[in-house]
Amino acid sequence: MKCTDREYSEDIPKRNEQYSVKKHIAVLLCMVSVAACLLSGCGGLDYGMAYDSDSDISSFNVISRQDTRTAASFASGLCVVNDNVVDDENVDMSQAEAALLLSLNDRQVIYSKNAHEVLYPASLTKVMTALVALRYGRLDQMLTATSAVNITEAGATLCGLKAGDTMTMDQALRILLVYSANDVANLIAEGVAGSVDRFVEMMNEEARRLGATNTNFANPHGLTDPNHYTTAYDLYLIFNEAIKFETFNEIIQMTGYQTTYYDADGKAKEFNKSTTNQFLKGNYQPPSNVNIIGGKTGTTNAAGCCLVLLSRDVSGNPYISVILRAASGADLYTAMTDLLDEIHK
């Protein structure tokens, strides 16, 4: 058959139509593949989406829009807090700036007040200090104090370390979390990273890895610094990671700690202190349906009174609760009791 110009010209639309169909099929297949990748998490790849409520690509904003696929992949296993949840008038948070109660198993936000407000964390900082130490240090590592342990801020809780004193990482972590000794935080920092400054960098790197993007650390102990801040939600992210470590869980349950460490001349020095957690000391009682496992306290003039807790209900389901900047210790524990009373209401 002779190929005339007319026959060729008539064949162009057919070929274009066939090409167009094939092109659309290819595009559709590509889109399906991309969607499947997003939904499955692409074999565990980390897209690093920040938990920043002000970011257009944060999980908060993405989840509030129509396409929740990417956010669902990123936030898998985590609670995501968008807005305040303060419906119950029986919870009196008038004396606290921020509060959060989250159910870990079903990722339910039970209560939330100012969860993303930037505030001082005080010694709740030491949760991150312990997390970095547990991730990168060794429990049997011997630590030797330098002049970095000389903290002179009035009212700061101290173990009383002097240059040349030695103890193991395990001892240091227990003193850090049970008694909240600020000098021990610096001891741990130097032992893990070689310097306090490098350890602080590691703390901030860990915060970013966890998505705690409204957090910045300036020291490992939590004494007030204008560049040292976090949020109730970021503390949840950090604490939620820390409780994955068996040693951390063991320590936060302790009602006190007694040990012996040594000075530069090998002379024994005794340590014997009770926990700073008033629930564990029995000075305040949680609701009858709640068992407090443990947590971390923090108090400075700038931060107010702060507390993060791991608790379980009668069925063993876990919860994390956070209160920041309560007006007093009594206000802190009264408000936390009210908050925990929301479990299974």
Catalytically annotated residues: 123, 126, 180
Mean pLDDT score of the chain, rounded to an integer? Answer: 84
pLDDT higher than 60, residue 50 = no
Which range, 42-56, 88-102, 247-261, is most confident?
A: 247-261
CA distance 163 to 113: 43
Measured CA to CA, the distance from residue 194 to residue 110 in angstroms comes to: 42
Closest CA to 78 of 56, 63, 94: 63
For 200-211, what is the mean pLDDT? 98
**Cα–Cα separations (whole angstroms), residue 245 to 173, 240, 251:** 13, 10, 10
Higher pLDDT, 304 or 7: 304
Instruction: State pLDDT tens for residues 145-194.
Output: 999 999 999 999 999 999 999 999 999 999 999 999 999 999 999 999 99
pLDDT level of residue 35 (50, 70, 90 thresholds): very low
Closest CA to 238 of 202, 192, 207: 207
The answer to whether residue 113 scores a pLDDT higher than 80 is yes
**294 — pLDDT class (breaks 50, 70, 90):** very high
pLDDT of residue 87: 77
- Give the contacts of 345 (CB within 8 A, at least 6 positions apart): 88
Task: For residue range 299-308, list pLDDT tens digits in order.
Answer: 999 999 999 9
Rounded CA separation 231/243 (Å): 18
What per-residue confidence (pLDDT) applies to 83? 86
In the chain, the percentage of residues whose pLDDT exceeds 70 is 78
pLDDT at 7: 33
For range 261-274, the mean pLDDT = 98
pLDDT of residue 4: 34
- Between CA 287 and CA 339 the distance in angstroms is 9
Q: Which of 6-20, 241-255, 309-323 comes out lowest in average pLDDT?
A: 6-20
pLDDT at 252 over 50: yes
Per-residue b/e over 276-310, b at no fewer than 16 CB within 10 Å? bbbbbeeebebbeebebbbbbbbbbeebbbbbbbb
pLDDT of 322 over the 80 cut: yes
CB 192 within 8 A of CB 173: no
Tell me the domains of the chain and their CATH numbers: 18-77 (no CATH), 122-283 (3.40.710.10)
Predicted local distance difference test score (pLDDT) of residue 75: 56
Cβ within 8 Å of residue 205, ≥6 positions away = none
pLDDT-derived band at 60 (thresholds 50, 70, 90) equals: very low
